[in-house]
Amino acid sequence: MNRRDFFTCHVADKSRPAASLGPGYYSNGVFRTHENKPVRFYDDLIKGKISIINFMYASCDKYCPRSIACLTKLQDLLGDHLGRDMFMYSFTLKPDEDTPAKLAAYAKGNGARPGWLFLTGSEYDLTSIRFKLFRLDDPLLDFSVDIHASMLRIINDNNSRWTSWVLPDPPRLIREAVSWVEPTKPFAVRVRENAELQAAIDKESVISAPKRAEFKRAHGWPEITAKYENPDGMKKLQTLFHAGA
Amino acid sequence: MLKASAAAGVVTMLTSRKTLAQSLPPIPTQPPDCAAPAPTNSPATTPFVQALPIPPVAIPTILNPFPTLAADTANGEAARANHQDWFQFFPLLQYNVSVQPTMHQFHPQIPPTYCWGYNGIYPGPTFLNIYGVPVVVRFHNNLPVDNIGFGDNNHTTHLHNGHTASESDGFAGDYWSPGLFKDHHYPNVYAGFNEFPPLGDQLEAQHTYWYHDHRHSFTATNNYRGINGMYLIYDDIDTGFEFPGQGPQALRLPGPYGIYDIPLNFTDKLFCANGEMFATAPDAVPGGTDKFCVNGAIQPYFNVQTRKYRFRFLNSGPARIWTFNLSDNNGNPVPMTVVTTDGNLLPSPVEVISTSSVPTLTGLTVYVSQRYDVIIDFTNATPGTSWYLTNVAAQFVGNAPEPEPAPGVNIGNVVMAFNITGPPPSPDQSQVPEVLTTLPNISKPMANLFGTRVWNFNDDVVGAEGDPANPTGKVFNVNGLTFDPNRADATVQQGSSETWLIRNRFPGTGWTHPVHIHLEEGRVLDRRNITVNPTTGVITINSQGVPPLEQGRRDVYPILPNDEVLIFLQFRDWFGKYMIHCHNLGHEDGLMLVRWDVTTGPSSTVTSPVYSDGTPNTGNGQVNSGAQPNITPALTALAPTFNLNPPGTSKLNRPGLKGSKKGVKA
């Protein structure tokens, strides 16, 4: 921990959510956005928000383009949450190459909307949060730059719920993962969604009983019409209960 | 006498014990998590000060509203497909289970810990069942709507490796939210009931199961919170009782449950000073921690008499691989006799001991979610002394320095102690027959294999897309893909059989993947190790045969780095979605899961063809680019080398019992 962390991490901050892990956990290093604005990691990026965090670098041409394209589509699925209570942060893995100006061009080229920030900073601060958020306890992977082009961390500071996903999976899946850290929906809403899910299951090609019977006949398996009766089974179970319970 | 007690028992079970079953502990409010600062070790605890807890038996009840074929969504049941074969295996017993928060004390020196558990206890109640008595279990999700920190309040239960229809299998994507419940139909039938009606092939009997949370992306945290328990099924061969007169078919292994048949649910945890469990991050649990817990107690003792016991070892995760040794009071190694592997009877008992000359029988290595039923014979133990079960992986326990309990036994490695009390009140009537079962005859399905399906369990940095220069970025994947609950990577036709080649990435990064396959148990046909000649670069696949503890049927197949395992599988009884996944709970949450479906057919000839967004999966994560993990021709040429039983009937064909002779030495 450097001197800045020591001071910023231990200052009591009444404005942060009660369940938050706070700057002592997340660290509070200063990064610079693609708009060339300085921001503190916890205070400005994490506190009270849902954050969707990944690592990238502008010159990455193998895996990153698909990952970034996926995030571009995710913006639409986040709707007006983006920039209000949900934010997307793409940190560079190569701070030497990626200046704010270069990141600004990259953001523009990928159609980033307000609420999606591309950030650079000191190697120390970037590595610190990379290890804090994406550590696998495997040196080969933890120090690999490429591996981090696909990892996505989703954090809600208000209830300290985290989850993760990998890129470039469909944005639909990532949007669903974001919903897991959101506050649980009201019961009435969940009951309605459950009914909708049931309707979808019923509509799907569920294999009907007659079709199953036909399939069994095709295999030459005997058809079972009567319920299986097991007069002795219950008696055996009784003795088990008496001995074990 | 037995009949009379049985008749009386029905009344007792449904009346007085009903009230017992319903008295759930109060739901506590959640204390703050202790994520920061990270503790380096748990508070110090004195070993062997608490007795081993035995999970209580789950008690049946009458469900209200009554369970139905279709999901009762109007009354709060979670959405699901109709129960398959519901009327054929109409449930005779009903259970009501609440998944809820609770306070559980792991050790007298550690304050009570906020946990989640089945019926508010950890481990959950043990289900005692009989093959041929179908049951329905209603799982209420009573987890908090406003939970903070690790764990997710959406829940689904998987009965591992229950022979259950898809809608009751606890598929990882079929979770339900707080306030809803779901009925799982457990028909308690043997596999192959279509082929061998009405109950299935008794040779497919499986006896030791466990049930646990399977909500994808949060399985590790939810299990760490405590959502797991055991589920045992007996039949007329493994009866649960040791007394004579049960017929010549009865094995008479030590029993009954709770007295001489003891579950041992092993896990490890890291505690903060306030008693809360530590999670490395709000969605991750520590991979290796400093407190060994057995049935929810840290380093407990168990009082034993000088006779045989049956212990049901279960590694409930999240990640630790245990290697167990047993030492007597002088520190000398004592053998343990394994009778079942993943709940399936071995053809013959297998002895493991820490000093075995056979590497695979040196200690009992238990990967996550594996089960071993182990007979320990204390007959010759000295009353007043203690035997010690140790995990040989060196471990810092965080205790004040303790003397070695026995010569050469490091207290930091001791998982639990067996205190020898004295002779049993009545003579030991249990036995360990030399022949436990015969394996199902698979020569016919082996001759009609659809093919070999390859599943590459990758932890790549590079090359998962087939091009070694093309970094995938994905850490945990199968055939280059990660889990999408809506995408099946393979479909198999009901009634067909295949061999599956499960392969760890080569060259591996050092991770072991205990791979679990839902639905039917498999037979290990071959284990192979992949090596590369450092000078020529030639890759060699070295067959290692089938180790002694994989001679029976299994449902978890660990693959060590650079290993692959070839198994035989059948898909006979139900339609729907099932999974193959790594059961290291952290890897599982890293989306190392695959959905595959049993359908009316035909089986898919290509495995993992597309990403879930429809993009073609060009390289499939194959080890050597160019080769495709698709169906390859049946391995009929290899078949004669497999130890197949001669053609016969499905009836159990076991020679007469040979007294209580100890098992074979492999």
Tens-place pLDDT, residues B493-544: 999 999 898 988 666 566 789 999 999 999 999 888 877 777 876 777 788 8
Residue A49 covered by a domain: yes
Q: Mean pLDDT lowest for which of A188-202, B291-305, B603-617, B623-637?
A: B623-637
pLDDT at B538: 72
Mean pLDDT of B549-565: 91
Query: Residue B47 carries which side chain, given as an amino acid letter?
Result: P
Distance from the Cα of residue A243 to its chain's centroid = 48
Q: Mean pLDDT of all residues in chain B?
A: 84
- DSSP run (H or E) holding A9: helix A3-9
Query: Can you tell me the distance from the alpha carbon of B606 to that of B453, in angstroms, rounded to the nearest whole number?
Result: 8
| Better pLDDT: A92 or B619 | A92
What is the phi/psi pair of residue B478, to 5°?
A: -120, 120
| Better pLDDT: A238 or A85 | A85
CATH number of the domain where residue B135 is located: 2.60.40.420
Residue of A25, A135, A228 best to disrupt the B interface, most CBs of B under 10 A: A228
Compare CB distances from A160 to B33, B130, B217 and report the shortest one's residue.
B33
Compare CB distances from A239 to B2, B461, B473 and report the shortest one's residue.
B2
Asked if A190 and A178 sit in the same domain, the reply is no
CA-nearest of B295, B242, B277, B245 to B122 is B295
Mean pLDDT of B136-145: 96
Asked if A170 and A83 sit in the same domain, the reply is yes
Could you tell me the residue range of the domain that residue A214 belongs to?
185-221
Query: Can you tell me the distance from the alpha carbon of A167 to that of A66, in angstroms, rounded to the nearest whole number?
Result: 8
pLDDT at A131: 86
Residue A242 covered by a domain: no
pLDDT digits (tens, 9 = 90+) for B74-102: 999 999 999 998 988 999 999 999 999 99
Name the minimum distance, in Å, from the CA of A78 to any CA of chain B. 18
Could you tell me the residue range of the domain that residue B527 belongs to?
443-641
Evaluate whether B260 touches B306 at the Cβ level (below 8 Å): no
Asked if A155 and A107 sit in the same domain, the reply is yes
pLDDT at B472: 52
pLDDT(B483) > 80: yes
Mean pLDDT of B158-170: 95
pLDDT(B337) > 90: yes
Asked if A23 and A93 sit in the same domain, the reply is yes
Residue B348 covered by a domain: no
Mean pLDDT of A64-87: 92
Neighbours of B609 (CB within 10 A): 18
Question: Domain total for chain A?
Answer: 2
Asked if A189 and A176 sit in the same domain, the reply is no
Evaluate whether B519 touches B571 at the Cβ level (below 8 Å): yes
Neighbours of A192 (CB within 10 A): 12
Asked if A42 and A140 sit in the same domain, the reply is yes
The last residue of a domain, from among B217, B251, B285: B251
Residue B611 covered by a domain: yes
pLDDT(B368) > 60: yes
Question: Domain total for chain B?
Answer: 2
pLDDT at A42: 95
Asked if A195 and A156 sit in the same domain, the reply is no
CA-nearest of B438, B436, B437, B434 to B665 is B434
Residue of A nearest to B71 (CA): A198
Residue A80 covered by a domain: yes
Query: Can you tell me the distance from the alpha carbon of B150 to that of B144, in angstroms, rounded to the nearest whole number?
Result: 12
Q: Mean pLDDT lowest for which of A90-104, A107-121, B24-38?
A: B24-38
pLDDT at A14: 65
Q: Mean pLDDT of all residues in chain A?
A: 84
Mean pLDDT of B148-153: 92
Residue B302 covered by a domain: no
Residue B481 covered by a domain: yes
Asked if A212 and A146 sit in the same domain, the reply is no
Query: Residue A204 carries which side chain, given as an amino acid letter?
Result: E
Name the minimum distance, in Å, from the CA of A156 to any CA of chain B. 10
| Better pLDDT: B323 or B6 | B323
Question: In chain B, what residues touch A233 (CB-CB under 8 Å)?
Answer: 92, 130-133
Beta bridge partners of A87: A51
Which letter does DSSP use for residue B136 in this model? E
Residue A227 covered by a domain: no
Question: In chain B, what residues touch A235 (CB-CB under 8 Å)?
Answer: 2-3, 6
Residue B467 covered by a domain: yes
pLDDT digits (tens, 9 = 90+) for A122-162: 999 998 898 888 877 666 667 766 666 778 999 999 999 99
Tokens of B433: 């027959």
pLDDT at A67: 84
pLDDT(B110) > 80: yes
pLDDT at B611: 74
pLDDT at B471: 46
Residue B287 covered by a domain: no
pLDDT(B625) > 50: no
What percentage of chain B carries pLDDT values higher than 90?
Answer: 58
pLDDT at A137: 67
Mean pLDDT of B207-228: 96
pLDDT(B590) > 80: yes
Question: In chain A, what residues touch B462 (CB-CB under 8 Å)?
Answer: 146
Asked if A177 and A197 sit in the same domain, the reply is no
B10 touches A: beta carbon within 8 Å: yes
pLDDT digits (tens, 9 = 90+) for B172-216: 999 999 999 999 999 999 999 988 888 899 999 999 999 999 999
Residue A13 covered by a domain: yes
Q: Assign A55 to helix, strand or coil.
A: strand
pLDDT(B665) > 80: no
Decide: residue B422, CB within 10 A, 0-12 exposed, 13-18 middle, 19+ buried: exposed
pLDDT at A59: 87
The last residue of a domain, from among A135, A164, A182: A182
pLDDT(B466) > 50: no
Residue B322 covered by a domain: no
Query: Can you tell me the distance from the alpha carbon of A129 to that of B232, in angstroms, rounded to the nearest whole number?
Result: 46
CA-nearest of B272, B229, B221 to B137 is B229
Mean pLDDT of B245-249: 90
The last residue of a domain, from among B233, B251, B269: B251
What percentage of chain B carries pLDDT values higher than 70?
Answer: 83
Name the minimum distance, in Å, from the CA of A38 to any CA of chain B. 26
Report CB contact under 8 Å: B256, A240.
yes
Mean pLDDT of B288-314: 95
CA-nearest of A31, A13, A30, A34 to A22 is A13
Evaluate whether B308 touches B256 at the Cβ level (below 8 Å): no
The last residue of a domain, from among A132, A155, A182: A182
Report CB contact under 8 Å: B76, A211.
no
Residue B201 covered by a domain: yes
The last residue of a domain, from among B223, B251, B279: B251
CATH number of the domain where residue A152 is located: 3.40.30.10
Compare CB distances from B79 to A62, A183, A194 and report the shortest one's residue.
A194
pLDDT(B132) > 70: yes
pLDDT digits (tens, 9 = 90+) for B346-361: 999 999 998 888 877 8
CA distances from B391 to B266, B399, B473, B559 (A): 11, 16, 35, 21
Evaluate whether B83 touches B271 at the Cβ level (below 8 Å): no
SS3 string, B552-619, reads: CEECEEEECCCEEEEEEEECCCCCEEEEEEECCHHHHHCCCEEEEEEECCCCCCCCCCECCCCCECCC
Decide: residue A235, CB within 10 A, 0-12 exposed, 13-18 middle, 19+ buried: middle
Mean pLDDT of B113-137: 96
Report CB contact under 8 Å: A212, B195.
no
Kindly report the CA angle at B416 between B410 and B420, in degrees rounded to 5?
105
Asked if A26 and A93 sit in the same domain, the reply is yes
Report CB contact under 8 Å: B92, A167.
no
Asked if A83 and A114 sit in the same domain, the reply is yes
Angle between helices A171-181 and A64-78 in degrees, nearest 10: 60
Q: What is the ipTM, given to two decimal places?
A: 0.88
Asked if A43 and A75 sit in the same domain, the reply is yes
Measured in residues, chain B has a length of 666
